[in-house]
């Protein structure tokens, strides 16, 4: 059997490509080395019947109308606006930093203009914003940086803010108003029956065949196909020819609490300066599920393990560029997704990137 396309990885990148190509009449084989679809966005019920995200909390948010409308073909949605508190010295403060954060932390009663003036007085102006340290110091100054960002970043990445590209900390805005939502995107929804159900629907097209627990390293010379869409780590595809690209890993410690209706007040609580984990997420906030118990996950950053985050810093970007050049010289393979493009992409950005390449491929 010859396929029009072999798609490596059943996460967002691979699944969107598969669905688009199948809808354009192509015969597609999707493989994943894991025993499930969905990639890192996979969700499932734990042994106590609570819907959890085994690979850490996934909250969907986008301002891309096209992306939202595309996914709406495969799921209904549940309105959910994520909120996060940071735990500091026994107290909880909204993060992103907002008016409430500043007033509570410093015992002030500033209005919005007052907060703007306060931030203006503490921020350290920078001509060049190259690193995450530049981003944070130039927006909130050193005290707020040390309280909310430096420790968290060290824990999450094993690196100082000064050693990470600006884009990492720039994910977190600073606000002078009372908006305590983590994201301000136009569309903030969770798939009503979960991510896996949405993926099942996308992969349910009759032109798509899915084979799980199959590694590309084994099938690469076996499957007959016109084209390959590869969504795994790009350095692995090229057998680490230029050395390993650094990815950050995590260890997820899941826990179920029997007869606890609610463990914490918001979906996620960040621990910038205490504990070895960065954050705790309680899934029922995200999913709206009713259950007599509750399930939580703690995230422990790791240097080794499954690749979860590309590490945005200039030397890594330089190494990625070399792999990217090899990719450009491999026209029968399309590289797309967070690991293949080595970009700190959110889910919606992966969907956007996959829609774009799939459109080109379908022609």
Return residues touching ligand FAD (CB under 6 A). 8-14, 31-34, 39-41, 55-59, 215-217, 231-232, 250, 308, 337-339, 345-348, 350
**Is 51 one of the binding residues for ligand UDP (CB under 6 A)?**
no
CB of 35 to ligand UDP, least distance (A): 25
**Cβ contacts of 125 within 8 Å, gap of 6 or more:** 138
Helix (H) or strand (E) holding 230: strand 224-230
Whether the link from the prior residue into 89 is cis, omega within 30° of 0, is: no
Within 156-175, the residues that bind ligand UDP by CB under 6 A are 156, 168-169, 171-172
Question: Residue 320 binds which entry of ligand FAD, ligand UDP, none, with Cβ cut-offs from 5 to 8 Å by kind?
Answer: none
**CB nearer to ligand FAD: pick between 166 and 210:** 210
**CB nearer to ligand UDP: pick between 22 and 38:** 38
What count of other Cβ atoms lies within 10 Å of the Cβ of residue 323?
A: 23
**Is 270 one of the binding residues for ligand UDP (CB under 6 A)?**
yes
Question: Residue 39 binds which entry of ligand UDP, ligand FAD, none, with Cβ cut-offs from 5 to 8 Å by kind?
Answer: ligand FAD
CB of 41 to ligand FAD, least distance (A): 4
Burial degree of 18 (CB within 10 A; 0-12, 13-18, 19+): buried
CB of 88 to ligand FAD, least distance (A): 22
Q: What are 30's two structure tokens?
A: 């999707």
44-45/333-335 β-pairing: unpaired
Question: Residue 323 binds which entry of ligand FAD, ligand UDP, none, with Cβ cut-offs from 5 to 8 Å by kind?
Answer: none
Whether 86 contacts 92, CB under 8 Å: yes
3-state DSSP assignment of residue 305: coil
Whether 356 contacts 282, CB under 8 Å: no
**Is 62 one of the binding residues for ligand UDP (CB under 6 A)?**
no
CB of 272 to ligand FAD, least distance (A): 17
Closest by alpha carbon to 11, among 313, 362, 328, 307?
307
Question: Residue 176 binds which entry of ligand FAD, ligand UDP, none, with Cβ cut-offs from 5 to 8 Å by kind?
Answer: none
**Is 187 one of the binding residues for ligand UDP (CB under 6 A)?**
no
Q: Kindly report the CA angle at 50 between 45 and 55, in degrees rounded to 5?
A: 60
Closest by alpha carbon to 70, among 347, 344, 360, 362?
347
**Is 138 one of the binding residues for ligand UDP (CB under 6 A)?**
no
**Is 272 one of the binding residues for ligand UDP (CB under 6 A)?**
yes
Name the closest residue to ligand FAD (Cβ). 39
Q: Which residues bind ligand UDP (CB under 6 A)?
A: 86, 95, 148-149, 152-153, 156, 168-169, 171-172, 270, 272
């Amino acid at each position: 059997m010859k396929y029009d396309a072999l798609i490596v990885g059943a996460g967002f990148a691979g699944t969107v490509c598969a669905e688009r190509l199948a809808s354009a009449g192509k015969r597609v084989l999707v493989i994943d080395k894991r025993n499930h679809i969905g990639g890192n966005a996979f969700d499932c019920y734990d042994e106590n019947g609570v819907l959890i995200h085994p690979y850490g909390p996934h909250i969907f948010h986008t301002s891309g109308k096209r992306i939202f409308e595309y996914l709406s073909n495969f799921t209904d949605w549940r309105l959910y606006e994520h909120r996060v508190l940071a735990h500091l010295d026994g107290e909880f403060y909204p993060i992103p930093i907002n008016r409430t954060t500043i007033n509570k932390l410093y015992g002030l009663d500033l209005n919005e203009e007052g907060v703007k003036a306060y931030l203006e007085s503490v921020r350290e102006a920078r001509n060049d914003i190259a690193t995450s340290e530049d981003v944070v110091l130039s927006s909130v100054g050193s005290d707020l940086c040390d309280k909310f960002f430096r420790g968290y970043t060290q824990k999450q990445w094993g690196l100082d803010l000064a050693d990470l590209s600006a884009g990492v900390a720039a994910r977190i805005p600073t606000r002078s108003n009372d908006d305590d939502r983590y994201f301000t995107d136009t569309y903030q929804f969770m798939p009503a029956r979960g991510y896996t159900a949405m993926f099942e629907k996308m992969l349910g097209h009759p032109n798509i065949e899915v084979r799980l627990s199959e590694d590309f390293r084994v099938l690469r010379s076996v499957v007959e196909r016109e084209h390959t869409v590869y969504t795994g780590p790009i350095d692995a595809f090229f057998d680490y020819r230029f050395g390993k690209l650094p990815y950050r890993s995590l260890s997820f410690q899941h826990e179920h609490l029997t007869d606890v209706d609610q463990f914490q007040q918001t979906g996620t609580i960040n621990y910038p300066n205490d504990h070895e984990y960065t954050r705790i997420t309680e899934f029922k906030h995200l999913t709206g599920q009713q259950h007599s118990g509750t399930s939580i996950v703690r995230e422990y950053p790791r240097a080794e393990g499954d690749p979860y985050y590309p590490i945005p810093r200039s030397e890594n970007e330089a190494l990625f560029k070399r792999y990217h050049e090899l990719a450009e010289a491999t026209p029968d393979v399309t590289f797309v997704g967070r690991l293949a493009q080595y970009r700190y992409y959110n889910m919606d950005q992966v969907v956007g990137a996959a829609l774009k390449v799939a459109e080109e491929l379908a022609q």
